[in-house]
């Protein structure tokens, strides 16, 4: 039994017309008719009643339909799997920033490996500019970086991580849903920043005040900043991903600051134009990304 005849049968049923099925399958109408007639001879029964330009399934056609649909689905699924294997390399070289390495990659890679069994993955952690350069020179296949634009790269938005103020559980501000930046200037601060424009916006908010904030510790490491807050060294603006566990355990308390509402760190997936499209499409799927929140 020819799978193309099965395909023609399912498409004629779906579109209710030989002409429409032929158009979708990029065939002539006589070719589709010939395929249905061959299938009917093989099954020794009529599958369609012709009513002018419209067609309806016969009783035998109704009985055969679910089996035909299952056969076609299995065939198409197998074909997609073979094509995916051809497109996906045996090794995938990923570059990512420190925050992605710490808080996203450990959750993401098991899902990727389940979809592509046997795929070997090498992860390099670096800054955005270095990762962009290595993707352009083909030292890396894909990169998770801050929002960038380059004519030789495809860049898709992957994740947007809101920046909020976090305090330890028994801090005087803990439990307040929102505070004004004026209330923070006398608080001891641990200040974490990664050099992006988003952190510059936070700096500008404090620059508008008559009194600068009391920054006692300055660091470019989110894990260090978080642990300092847990040890009551101060309060800190942090991206949400790095404190999910501690917030869930009520060890840290998030507080909204009106003046920095909407500030977030955006992570994009980059690859050379036209390359790694299958994996990039999987990684940027909204349903997958939602599991990280």
In tens, the pLDDT along 62-108 reads 999 999 989 988 887 777 666 555 555 678 899 999 889 988 899 88
The last residue of one of the domains, among 72, 87, 102, is: 87
- Structure confidence at residue 75 (pLDDT): 83
pLDDT at 117 over 90: no
| Owning domain of residue 178 | 161-265
The last residue of one of the domains, among 87, 105, 120, is: 87
Q: Identify which has the larger pLDDT, 230 or 77.
A: 230
Q: What is the pTM assigned to this prediction?
A: 0.62
Phi, psi (deg, nearest 5) at residue 152: -95, 5
Instruction: Give 195's pLDDT tier (boundaries 50, 70, 90).
Output: low
Structure tokens at 184: 């923070």
The last residue of one of the domains, among 48, 67, 87, is: 87
Nearest residue to 258 (alpha-carbon basis) of 156, 176, 174, 169: 176
> Which residues are within 8 A (CB) of 225 and not within 5 positions of it... i.e. 6 or more apart?
190, 191, 192, 217, 219, 236, 238
Question: Facing residues of 142 across strands?
Answer: 94
Nearest residue to 188 (alpha-carbon basis) of 215, 169, 222: 215
- Residue 47 and residue 83 share a domain: yes
């Amino acid at each position: 039994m020819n799978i193309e005849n099965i395909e023609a049968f399912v498409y004629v049923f779906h579109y209710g017309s030989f002409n429409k099925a032929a158009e979708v399958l990029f065939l002539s109408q006589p070719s589709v008719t010939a395929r249905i007639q061959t299938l009917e001879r093989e099954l020794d029964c009529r599958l369609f009643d012709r009513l002018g330009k419209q067609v309806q399934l016969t009783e035998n056609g109704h009985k055969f339909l679910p089996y035909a649909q299952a056969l076609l689905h299995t065939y198409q699924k197998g074909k997609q799997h073979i094509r995916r294997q051809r497109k996906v390399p045996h090794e995938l070289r990923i570059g990512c920033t420190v925050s992605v390495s710490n808080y996203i990659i450990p959750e993401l890679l098991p899902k990727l490996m389940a979809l592509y069994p046997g795929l070997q993955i090498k992860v390099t952690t670096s800054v955005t500019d270095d990762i962009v350069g290595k993707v352009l020179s083909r030292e890396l296949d894909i990169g998770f970086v801050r929002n960038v634009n380059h004519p030789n790269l495809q860049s898709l938005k992957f994740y947007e991580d809101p920046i909020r103020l976090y305090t330890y559980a028994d801090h005087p501000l803990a439990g307040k849903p929102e505070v004004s930046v004026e209330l923070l200037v006398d608080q001891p601060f641990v200040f974490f920043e990664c050099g992006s424009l988003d952190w510059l916006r936070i700096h500008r908010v404090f620059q508008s005040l008559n009194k600068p904030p009391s920054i006692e510790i300055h660091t470019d490491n989110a894990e260090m900043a978080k642990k300092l807050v847990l040890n009551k060294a101060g309060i800190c603006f942090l991206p949400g991903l790095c404190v999910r566990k501690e917030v869930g355990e009520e060890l840290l308390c998030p507080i909204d600051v009106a003046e920095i509402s909407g500030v977030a760190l955006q992570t994009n997936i980059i690859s050379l134009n036209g390359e790694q499209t299958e994996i990039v499409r999987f990684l940027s799927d909204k349903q997958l990304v939602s599991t990280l929140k």
